[in-house]
Amino acid sequence: MKRVAPIVLICLFFNPCFANEDKKESINNFSKTRFQNIDLFNKVLYLIEKNYYREIDQKKLINGAIKGMISSLDPHSSFLDEEVFQKMQEETSGEFGGLGIEVTQKDGVLIVITPIEDTPAYKAGVLAGDKIVEIDGVSTVGLLLEEAVERMRGELGSTIKLGVSRENEKEILYFSLKRQIIKLKPVKSELFENKFLYLRLTNFQKDSGKYLAKAIKKAQKTLSKKKTSLKGIVFDLRSNPGGLLEEAVNVSSLFLKEGVVVSTEGRDDSVKDVKTVKKMGFKVSDVPLVVLINGASASASEIVAGAIQDQKRGIIMGERSFGKGSVQTIAKVDEKQGVKLTIAQYMTPSGKKIQALGIKPDIELKNLGPNWLKSSRQNRFIREKDLRNHLTATIETKDEKQLREKNSKTAQKTKKMFRDFQVLQALKYLEGVTIYSDILKK
């Protein structure tokens, strides 16, 4: 009975569901080296069962071995139990319970890729790049990524305390977060100056392309009533952790007429999976476009930015993206468990790889933060209107008063947005494009 567990493991290695469906191999095809390695595992397991100072949980031991084996491949490959698999489905459908952070692991350290907008982590002030060093007072050192994620899950409404190490902070920062049902609203939009549309996509969940199309159509309808048209779009993909590949294709297809969106390169270089632009459906392929990205823009965000950049459809502005360009697939081990494996790498239409490199913006632009506006005004000229008790040019007319009040409301509405340096620069770029286009038409 002591040697049953290794036999179970061998069955997992030879499970047809785990292998490539086109290449089902029998036990006889395995190399001598592989049998020797399995025999080594068998001997170690036997020694543990025989000599460890107390009784062991055989299933826990085997699962631990599998998790360790798969985690040694790369940060994105992992063993999935039933609960984890269900969690993954919830996250891409748009509603799930949790903290609202995307995490990865580097050199054994748990790192925040990005906090998802309007979630507990985002509202508490957790930032991209933060290192999670404690979970409820327990160190994360030595924890596998999946184990750390599992500890952050819990009953809805319960509180969790994260200890975070942040660059330029001498002490650990602590955040108390309440686990919630997180309803993701993937698209936020705003019209500026009755000609520019600001679009923000927070993640690539199901129907993200449709939500974006709806927001663009709404803006076009509003402008049409004012007898004007859309002059430019700022598409904000900053801190967007990615999501569904199909939605990356759908979103790209809104802005592109035709061509390749992304291709994948696997173990066999001769076999490539190519995703192309959907030619049918709603499009805004002729409106000037600026795409904003930063170091927390990952995966599907990088696919879209790369496609727009390579096809010269728009200007990519901001900071180099995260560099998550690997493709994962889920293979079932049995009816309740599976593995997530990296099987390929994404490439942009021109053949550039994204993995570990990211997308380099056409215009590199740091986000200077909310204090940039204050500093930029320090050396401005003093004008007549700045003088105390200055004389106005005329008595304000009724029309002037209405215009002033309207402009005041617009300014209040957009005040927060214009404190965003990168958004403001994107709008300035589009303003320049519009002016140049108008000059050419004259």
Please tell me the distance from the alpha carbon of residue 4 to that of residue 87, in angstroms, as a whole number.
31
Which residues fall within 8 angstroms of residue 432, CB to CB, at 6 or more apart? Answer: none
Task: Judge whether 299 counts as a catalytic residue.
Answer: yes
Which residues fall within 8 angstroms of residue 208, CB to CB, at 6 or more apart? Answer: 186, 187, 201, 243, 244, 247, 250, 251
Please tell me the distance from the alpha carbon of residue 368 to that of residue 347, in angstroms, as a whole number.
31
Sign of CA dihedral 335, 341, 343, 346: positive
CA–CA–CA angle 361, 366, 368 (5° rounding):
155
Q: Which residue in 130, 236, 310, 420 is the catalytic one?
A: 310
245-255 helix and 300-310 helix, angle to the nearest 10 degrees: 30
Q: Among residues 94, 90, 74, which one has the least CA distance to residue 82? A: 90
Q: Among residues 328, 357, 325, 323, which one has the least CA distance to residue 341? A: 328
Q: Which residue in 77, 208, 239, 299 is the catalytic one?
A: 299
Which residues fall within 8 angstroms of residue 175, CB to CB, at 6 or more apart? Answer: 121, 124, 125, 126, 161, 162, 164
DSSP 28: G
Residue 199 corresponds to which tokens in the numbers above?
A: 């679009």
Q: Among residues 295, 214, 210, which one has the least CA distance to residue 249? A: 210
Task: Judge whether 324 counts as a catalytic residue.
Answer: yes
Beta bridge partners of 27: none
Please tell me the distance from the alpha carbon of residue 218 to that of residue 201, in angstroms, as a whole number.
16
Q: Which residue in 67, 231, 275, 324 is the catalytic one?
A: 324
Please tell me the distance from the alpha carbon of residue 262 to that of residue 228, in angstroms, as a whole number.
35
For the annotated catalytic residues, the residue numbers are: 299, 310, 324
